[in-house]
Chains A and B, each alone.
Chain A
Amino acid sequence: MEYPKLYEPGQLNLLFNKREFFICIAQGIYTSVVLFFVPYAILSDATQSTGVPLADYQTFAVTTATALVIVVSVQIALDTGFWTIINHVFVWGSLGTYFTIMFALHSQTLFRIFPNQFHFVGRSTLLQPVVWLTIALATAICIVPVLAFRFLKLDLKPQLSDTLVRQKRRKPVGRSVGGPWRGVGSVSEGRLGARGGSRRSGYAFAHQEGFGELITSGKNMRLSSLALATFASRHSSSWIDTLRRKNKNVHTPPSTSGECSPAPSCLSGSVPPLSNSSSVVGGSQDTPIEEETAAAPAQTAPGSSSEAAAPQGPAGGLNPTAVRAPGGDSPGGWTLSLGTVQVSSSWFYSCSNNKTVTQHTITLFSVDDLI
């Protein structure tokens, strides 16, 4: 279910409807006409190198039948998407079986036993170069238009499955694990595949760790309402800025494993003393969001400054590392929002490095327990 859009053609009946059926019929008619009239035109005047004319019934029949089998096999080979060993066996096997049976039918032994049924054409028909030239010409006339149409369709109007396959093709194979469709890639139309692994699907922008853990743990309910109000008013718009910045940042090759756009301030080093009004954070990075103050775990209550200091310590100690860690994250995000999932989400939007978030979240949860 990684790419739900792949199911769309099936649901909308895009790949087999009346139009497709008639296209198939038209191609069948074209192939039949070619397969009859090309040998007809060539063999009507052809002779062997001994002068014996080749326009007899058996030669005509063998030429047309062989051309048919080869054209159909080539068409199947074009249609086969995945060549497992079974496909190889059946495609080459059917060609081989055809020639085997033909040689057997035209052999002397069967003629001796049943002279009236097996007319003993002999193998000399297939030894004529004109016969093989005819078969090659008929095959080319039948297959070249099909190839051209398919290539144009793939190039000008690639379907989702085609682009996905091409994206996967451009990534190193080692990345794909397991099933055929696993691959990290974006779904843009055609060309944007080689952007880099960090760009996620375009249609759903939250393929990240998610806030499930955070919300269900209730850690973000600690923030005081005052702080909350301040935060909410100041930073609701910056959430959008964060998104924009995140998108912009993604276009640059990620230097670090996970880019966090404006890492919510995290902390640069020393943690500014907490105040009720929160905010702080001298954001080491240029972040519009300053409050976070991740460092300020203890905005809970003014009275708990001492306790705040305690968690701050370790949290503060954590913070700088968190900041400098690639994908510097603001571990303190959890303190922020008392119910403002929005604000807290900004923290997590900013950083796509899930691991760091999780780690620090867990760490801080444990710290919080001490409070």
Chain B
Amino acid sequence: MMASSYNAKEEDGHPSGASGHGGPGVVKSKKPDNTAFKQQRLPAWQPILTAGTVLPAFFVIGLIFIPIGIGLYVTSNNIKEFEIDYTGVNMDSPCYTCAKNFSWNNTTPCTCSVDFTLKQPFESNVFMYYGLSNFYQNHRRYVKSRDDSQLNGGRSLTDPSKECEPYRKNDELPIAPCGAIANSLFNDTLELFHIDSNGSRNAIPLVKKGIAWWTDKHVKFRNPGGNSNLTQAFLGTTKPVNWRKPVYELDPSDPENNGFINEDFIVWMRTAALPTFRKLYRIIQKKSSTTPTLPSGKYTLDIIYNYPVLSFDGRKRMILSTISWMGGKNPFLGIAYITVGSICFFLGVVLLIIHHKYDTRNNSADIPN
């Protein structure tokens, strides 16, 4: 968007010899060398903002952004999403009693069920998220409270870093995994059932692999001493304060998902940037191309309510969503692109009018002698 002219200046490659090449008593000349660099004669490209470059640039930006915005908006509108809050704040909410009667010493878990209806069928892979509100995972002390070398299966298993304080040792035993992030692991269990026309409940299969970042699961988080015999590997450590089970019992049925490499644990350890966030919980695989993954109809969500949020006025919710090439439902992106593109285009038109008017006015004015 710049008009350019190339001013090629000849380069004098011979530095002018100082006049002090004579005898030893001659004062060296202070004149700078006659090189292109020192005499500021380097070849340069000089862009200028002219109407011929700026106005087309505005129109081009507008013409590029508007179709992109339209594409993004249309794609986002085709994504289906469903959200339901199950915190249990109101008295008529199913999980009200669980929320109210929460205590840390409960041995029997509290369960509740939430019914909902899907108006539209969900096709292709459906992703199930849990969302939290008013939970500041981006608090500075919270973000620092972890020990990545311990989580990498390193030597600091029994000697966690100081950053984990006060969740570093419990009863003189080192905590594995240490830190406040690990301590606040989300431990609600959600199950989905479809109520078909007969009234019978059909459990919907939920896949728990593939929900974490690949680099996290395979590089960053490693079990100490391999994936087998974790009980032995974690000898001498204790579970985090707020956990009900130790880390090597997170998923005993699958050694690839136990210990530090448990995917729910890894997903939780990746701190969210905003106080209202959602994390991937399970994936519902698509069955076939003809039947929708989740047909429209009645559903039930069974919750084992382990996670208290009412103490800090937080909220919990469950989200079901389909996915496209650009991710989940994100209308803001499409609208923003359309807005910026049209503003750019409009600005280009306005500038063109101003420039044209000023141009004609100037040309018709009398030129003073």
Contact = CB atoms under 8 A, between A and B. Distances in A.
Please determine whether chains A and B interact with each other in the same assembly.
yes
Interface of A: 38, 40-61, 80-86, 108, 111, 115-116, 119-120, 122, 124, 128-130, 133-134, 137, 140-141, 144, 147-148, 150-152, 154-156, 165-166, 169, 173, 176, 178, 180, 188-192, 244, 247
B302 interface: no
B354 A152 contact: yes
B278 A52 contact: no
Contacts of B58: 144, 147-148
Contacts of B47: 80-81, 83
Interface of B: 1, 3, 5-7, 9, 42-51, 54, 57-58, 61, 65, 68, 72, 125, 127, 129, 137-138, 143, 147-149, 152, 154, 161, 163, 210-216, 219-220, 270-274, 276-280, 283, 321, 323-330, 332-333, 336-337, 340, 343-344, 347, 351, 354-355, 358-359, 362-363, 367, 369
B213 A124 contact: yes
A190 B362 contact: yes
13 contacts: A42-B333, A45-B328, A46-B328, A46-B333, A50-B210, A53-B279, A56-B273, A111-B219, A115-B152, A130-B333, A147-B49, A148-B58, A176-B7
B274 A55 contact: yes
Does more than half of chain A's interface fall in helix, strand or loop, or is it mixed?
helix
Most buried by B among A51, A86, A148, A244: A51
A59 B277 CA distance: 14
A83 B326 contact: no
Nearest to A189: B362
The 8 closest A-B pairs by CB, nearest first: A122-B215, A60-B273, A47-B327, A51-B127, A82-B44, A115-B149, A83-B45, A47-B328
B212 A52 contact: yes
Contacts of A119: 148
A151 to B, nearest CB: 4
A329 B51 CA distance: 44
A9 B163 CA distance: 56
A108 B57 contact: no
Given A42-B332, A140-B340, A53 B369 contact: no
Contact of A84 (B42, B277, B333, B369): B42
Contacts of A191: 359, 362-363
Contacts of B213: 52, 122, 124
Contacts of B354: 152, 155-156
Given A56-B270, A151-B51, A48 B362 contact: no
Contacts of A141: 340
Contacts of A166: 48, 50
Contacts of A150: 49
